[in-house]
Amino acid sequence: MLKILRSSSASSCIQQPRYYPIASSSSSYTHHRIKPSPPFHGVLKSFLRDKPHHKSLHRLFFCTDSSDKSGSASAVEEPESNAAAAIVPTAIKKPDDFLTVLALPLPHRPLFPGFYMPIYVKDPKLLAALVESRKRQAPYAGAFLVKDEPGSEATGSDAEKNIYELKGKDLLNRLHEVGTLAQITSIQGDQVVLIGHRRLRITEMVSEDPLTVKVDHLKDSPYNKDDDVIKATSFEVITTLRDVLKTSSLWRDHVQTYNQHIGDFNYPRLADFGAAISGSNKLQCQQVLEELDESIAKAIEEKISTEQRRYLLNEQFKAIKKELGLETDDKTALTDKFRDRIDPNKEKIPPHVLQVIEEELKKLQLLEASSSEFNVTRNYLDWLTALPWGNYSDENFDVLRAQQILDEDHYGLTDVKERILEFIAVGKLRGTSQGKIICLSGPPGVGKTSIGRSIARALNRKFYRFSVGGLSDVAEIKGHRRTYIGAMPGKMVQCLKSVGTANPLVLIDEIDKLGRGHAGDPASAMLELLDPEQNANFLDHYLDVPIDLSKVLFVCTANVIETIPGPLLDRMEIIPIAGYITDEKMHIARDYLEKNTRDACGVKPEQVDLTDAALLSLIENYCREAGVRNLQKQIEKIYRKIALHLVRQGAQNEPLSLGSESTQDATESTHDETESKETEEAEVVETNVSAAHQDSDLKDNVATEKVLIDEKNLADYVGKPVFHAERMYEQTPLGVVMGLAWTAMGGSTLYIETTQVEQGEGKGSLHLTGQLGDVMKESAQIAHTVARAILAVKDHDNPFFANSKVHLHVPAGATPKDGPSAGCTMITSLLSLAMNKHVKKDLAMTGEVTLTGRVLPIGGVKEKTIAARRSGVKTIIFPLANKRDFDELAPNVKEGLDVHFVDDYNQIFDLAFETEK
């Protein structure tokens, strides 16, 4: 029992009560007068003291059968309680009188004396016999555990059903011989509540249905209460019980109730109680029920668990191996491992770091392996010695090879490639390279992240990427303090350990989307990381020693730089990446996207023909965004459908294969009936001889059948066009002018529309619609004022603005718009309406205008130029200050455009309203 109880305590798996102390079996018991009893621990400790035990009236409920006969069911020790007759009437026979009892099968666990157990009786005859026994004032039966049937996997309700189907000797053979005399306290329907009294042993069968058996009442073996061994064993049991009861408040309540009603808590009852509350299986509990004569010496010997014995043997084994010099202890092995890491590069490790490592190694030797500080020190040394102190990868200073690698992976991106080649050239002239912080900004899908990997390959550096989008915890960058449980270094230390070199290329993605929360401001923590003057001594909170990051090349990516904090933006070199024009997208689709997608889908080049017209239509009508990510998705969709078409076509042609036996039969059946049998056999033989060649030729024929995709059937693969022509008017009407706008997705055209709503003396006003922002509303008011001033000069007799209510609208109405760059477009639209003149055809303009008519520079020149080309614009008006930006554009972007640069609106007036010849 002690072994079972200790295993339950060690695993903290306390058996939930399937049977309970008898005081809990009925609510009527709790109404009796109960004297206050000492706590359970006090009762248990009483085993170790020679004090007489006081008998209690509530021994009647327990019906113990101790050797001194003090547990008789008819004994009444305390006259102050008058509840005895209500529970055990004097007419009921004593338990000793019952030598023949009904046999109740228990499927799950045995019933221990002193506990009650509710069971469900499914046998009608057995249930009727139990009811009859209560009526005859003989409410007792024998409860016996059912043996597991060999080879049976039935459990739960199925097992109970199988038990009640057995009768007579079949049922007797399935029952354990030793059981418990149980008192029947109540019967409600098929539920019977039993109270265990004493142990029984089956001697013979009396009747079969229901099963009735003769039994012997088993008595506790006599023992010496003063025996030192028994006292020592009981002390061990009590200690174990305390540990068990600490883990479950439910059992503590049951113990208190059990203590109040148990009466003489002797050593046999202690053993029963411990086994009953343990989480042991039913066979182990049955062993406790049967083994009355188990020696105390055996119980003491088995109190050491298997885990304890294994631990003792392992420690002895380690000690023996250490004496023989076969193996060192764990601390020595760890120390040797850490020293092996630092010895090859010991001269490259900074002295202050080497000093910290030596101090931590000495500290590790003094700590116990089981202490928490030992694990903290071990993890710290593991990180500290795993970093690549002074270990650098050999860089590539070959500019031509780097240019070739960059061109292999990406088309265009000239600014980025030139900057990387400049970095390589400077490193070659100096003989060494320093770290830089570069920020690539541009719309999604233009290749900012993928170019980072290509740069690392061109420079022959290790590549590491981590995203800071939504990052709100400073510890992700600077690390956690070592005092915290589960502390780890920051991302940069993890990077150095991962790549194994001190000069990697680190790509910090989505730096414009840094978060900020209760755990600090990561943007401020990035200042030290990305500052060339500080990152040579970067301090991680976990390592707490300076780390040199001056050789690291940082490449950051962002969609917009406006959301990047100013101090952080000042530390980075910004390289803008604008969107791709149609020609660039065509090259990218042909040279990169289509080839990679075709290989990924398993389609051969000779199986598909994607025409240039189809690609052009795909770019203009489905993928107008600045990047090529959506273009890649659409090409993948096309090739997936092509792959499905080829597989279906192959499945249809498969029965025509000449290499299979079934195909031969099909071929023979199609021969003309007039052919002779000899000719058919000859053809079959010839077919068998050349089967392999013919099968190969057929596969080639199927494979070489091209799938043609052109502009006409493109919609069958990618659906209806998403975009339509941005140009709303072939010939712009009065009061309508095309402007140019910039968005995070690239450039687009923006029409300004004006119309006269009402006319009357002194009714001049301006009404604005189109979800305009505050800046754009102010720009419209300025445009209205400037237009009135210009009209007064150009046509001083025209009172249009003084007497007309004008409505200015900027489509599309569902799209929010803001910014000052539409000022010149608004003025031109108002003047067109006021002077009743059409604006020049194929003209687009952009620029901010002041109250005096000066034209100020704008942003997004390349994006706006691309949008103008896409809409078929021939003439563009830009501010004079943006001429430098336009000159930097590629020739293919500027080709075919008539661009004018102005610094005053009067110049725009002359260009927009010039007389057409």
Pairwise CA distance, residues 229 & 212, whole Å: 41
Which token pair is 786? 């400037």
Domain-ending residue, one of 544, 576, 608: 576
303 in a structural domain? no
DSSP bridge partners of 738: 751, 844
Quote the mean pLDDT of the chain.
Answer: 77
4 versus 846: the higher-pLDDT residue is: 846
3-state secondary structure of 140: strand
Within 431-542, residue ranges assigned H as helices are: 448-459, 475-478, 491-499, 522-529
Q: Are 234 and 142 part of one and the same domain?
A: yes
Q: What is the pLDDT of residue 79?
A: 33
320 in a structural domain? no
Q: Are 571 and 586 part of one and the same domain?
A: no
Q: What is the pLDDT of residue 253?
A: 63
Does the annotation flag 444 for ligand binding?
yes
Over residues 376-390, mean pLDDT: 90
Domain-ending residue, one of 546, 576, 606: 576
Distance of CA 822 to the CA centre of its chain: 47
Amino acid in position 431: G
pLDDT tens digits along 626-663: 888 999 999 999 999 999 988 988 776 655 443 444 44
Pairwise CA distance, residues 535 & 538, whole Å: 5
Does the annotation flag 428 for ligand binding?
no
Which token pair is 213? 């058996």
Q: Are 805 and 860 part of one and the same domain?
A: yes
Return the CATH number at 681: 1.10.8.60
DSSP letter, residue 640: H
301 in a structural domain? no
Is 352's pLDDT higher than 80? Answer: yes
Strands 505-509, 212-217: pairing kind: unpaired
DSSP bridge partners of 194: 117, 184
pLDDT tens digits along 2-40: 555 544 444 444 444 444 444 433 333 333 333 333 444
Confidence of residue 305 (pLDDT cuts 50, 70, 90): low
821 versus 704: the higher-pLDDT residue is: 821
Pairwise CA distance, residues 648 & 707, whole Å: 13
The residues that are catalytic are: 821, 864
- Contact by Cβ (8 Å): 780, 768: yes
pLDDT tens digits along 47-92: 444 433 433 333 333 333 333 333 333 333 333 333 322 333 334 4
Which token pair is 185? 């306290």
pLDDT tens digits along 359-370: 999 888 888 888
Which token pair is 22? 């008898």
Least trusted range by pLDDT, from 32-41, 399-408, 874-883: 32-41
Which token pair is 774? 């505050």
Confidence of residue 580 (pLDDT cuts 50, 70, 90): confident
Q: What is the pLDDT of residue 264?
A: 54
Q: Are 431 and 369 part of one and the same domain?
A: no
Query: What total of structural domains would you count in the chain?
Result: 5
Burial 335-369 (b: 16+ CB within 10 A, else e): beebeebbeeeeeebeeebeebbeebbeebeebee
Which token pair is 901? 């640069």
Q: Are 549 and 512 part of one and the same domain?
A: yes
Q: What is the pLDDT of residue 462?
A: 93
Domain-ending residue, one of 576, 607, 639: 576
Could you give the percent of the chain with pLDDT greater than 70?
75
Q: Are 38 and 163 part of one and the same domain?
A: yes
Least trusted range by pLDDT, from 514-523, 571-580, 640-649: 514-523
Distance of CA 410 to the CA centre of its chain: 33
Which token pair is 718? 């990618």
830 in a structural domain? yes
- CB under 8 Å to 193, separation ≥6 — which residues? 25, 26, 116, 117, 118, 184, 185, 186, 187
Pairwise CA distance, residues 340 & 419, whole Å: 41
Q: What is the pLDDT of residue 768?
A: 92
DSSP bridge partners of 707: 608
Does the annotation flag 445 for ligand binding?
yes
For 568-580, the DSSP string reads: HHHTSEEEE----
543 versus 434: the higher-pLDDT residue is: 543
Least trusted range by pLDDT, from 117-126, 262-271, 310-319, 677-686: 677-686
Least trusted range by pLDDT, from 261-270, 413-422, 670-679: 670-679
Is 327's pLDDT higher than 90? Answer: no
Q: Are 652 and 507 part of one and the same domain?
A: no
Which token pair is 668? 């023979």
Q: Provide Rg for the chain, Cα atoms.
A: 47
Over residues 784-793, mean pLDDT: 91
Strands 140-145, 100-106: pairing kind: parallel
Residues 440, 443, 445, 451, Cα dihedral to 10°: -10
Does the annotation flag 363 for ligand binding?
no
Return the number of other C-beta atoms located less than 10 Å from residue 633's C-beta: 16
3-state secondary structure of 46: helix
Does the annotation flag 448 for ligand binding?
yes
User: What is the pTM for the complete model shown?
Assistant: 0.56
Does the annotation flag 442 for ligand binding?
yes
297 in a structural domain? no
Pairwise CA distance, residues 553 & 767, whole Å: 53
Return the number of other C-beta atoms located less than 10 Å from residue 817's C-beta: 18
570 versus 305: the higher-pLDDT residue is: 570
Report the chain's terminal Cα–Cα distance, integer Å.
Answer: 115
272 versus 143: the higher-pLDDT residue is: 143
Q: What is the pLDDT of residue 289?
A: 74
Return the CATH number at 227: 2.30.130.40
Distance of CA 590 to the CA centre of its chain: 37
304 in a structural domain? no
- Contact by Cβ (8 Å): 213, 103: yes
Return the CATH number at 770: 3.30.230.10
3-state secondary structure of 104: strand
Q: What is the pLDDT of residue 654?
A: 59
Return the number of other C-beta atoms located less than 10 Å from residue 323's C-beta: 8
Distance of CA 884 to the CA centre of its chain: 49
Domain that residue 903 falls in: 736-912
Which token pair is 755? 């119309």
Return the CATH number at 420: 3.40.50.300
Pairwise CA distance, residues 750 & 539, whole Å: 50
Pairwise CA distance, residues 831 & 784, whole Å: 9
Which token pair is 653? 């042609």
Q: Are 356 and 436 part of one and the same domain?
A: no
Does the annotation flag 443 for ligand binding?
yes
Pairwise CA distance, residues 828 & 787, whole Å: 8
724 Rama sector, left if φ>0, alpha if ψ -120 to 50, beta otherwise: beta
Q: Are 173 and 188 part of one and the same domain?
A: yes
Is 670's pLDDT higher than 50? Answer: no
Q: Are 586 and 558 part of one and the same domain?
A: no
Pairwise CA distance, residues 652 & 363, whole Å: 75
Which token pair is 636? 């993948």
Over residues 554-566, mean pLDDT: 89
148 in a structural domain? yes
492 in a structural domain? yes
Q: What is the pLDDT of residue 328?
A: 57
Q: Are 889 and 833 part of one and the same domain?
A: yes
For 649-680, the DSSP string reads: HHHHHGGG-TTSHHHHHHHHHTS-TTS-HHHH
Pairwise CA distance, residues 644 & 707, whole Å: 12
Over residues 527-544, mean pLDDT: 87
Q: Which helix (H) or strand (E) holds 308?
A: helix 306-324
Least trusted range by pLDDT, from 64-78, 153-167, 173-187: 64-78
Q: Are 451 and 532 part of one and the same domain?
A: yes
- Contact by Cβ (8 Å): 519, 533: no
- Contact by Cβ (8 Å): 808, 768: yes
Q: Which helix (H) or strand (E) holds 324?
A: helix 306-324
